[in-house]
Amino acid sequence: MTNCLFCKIAKKVIPSDIVYEDDHVLAFSDINPQAPQHKLIIPKKHIASLNELTSEDTLLVGQVIQTAKQLATQLGMSEGYRLVSNCGSLAGQSVFHLHFHLLGGRALHWPPG
Ligand code: 5GP
Ligand code: ZN
């Protein structure tokens, strides 16, 4: 997707603070952190949101979530963190390239609102 912000970040057209990368997955710091640790984990493949997932993406989503777990451990958050994907504008999704927020480093409240 040529005009997608996170595709541009994945292709390094737009710089970001990359904390993990492999052939299929990228993780980088959120530009507007909502917690002491706030990373975004994305598939490099353009998928607009959870709603656009197909059965072909099952392994890829697993890799994204495994990356989140590894990052949480590396960042010293295995005691508690949150992994969340906002799906659709009503849920607050503002970038329509599938991403998971990894949040931690402080006590997190529930429900998030
Ligand atoms: P959403 O609102 O779609 O769930 O999350 C999008 C996230 O992307 C927001 O937390 C926002 O701060 C982050 N974001 C928006 N633009 C940029 C950017 O240019 N670079 C980085 N690193 N994060 C961004
Ligand atoms: Zn994209």
What number is the average pLDDT over the span 39-48? 98
What number is the average pLDDT over the span 54-78? 98
With pLDDT > 90 as the criterion, what percentage of the chain qualifies?
A: 96
**pLDDT tens column, 7-28:** 999 999 999 999 999 999 999 9
Is 90 exceeded by the pLDDT of residue 30? yes
38 has catalytic annotation: no
* Nearest partner of 102 among 53, 35, 49, judged by Cα: 35
* Nearest partner of 57 among 82, 65, 32, 104, judged by Cα: 65
Among residues 38, 97, 99, 101, the one annotated as catalytic is 99
In the chain, what are the domains?
5-104 (3.30.428.10)
Q: pTM here? A: 0.98
Q: Give 6 Cα–ligand 2 centroid separation in angstroms.
A: 5
Q: Give 49 Cα–ligand 2 centroid separation in angstroms.
A: 10
Taking CA atoms, 50 is separated from 28, 33, 94, 97, in Å, by: 19, 22, 13, 9
CB atoms within 10 A of CB 113: 5
Is 90 exceeded by the pLDDT of residue 86? yes
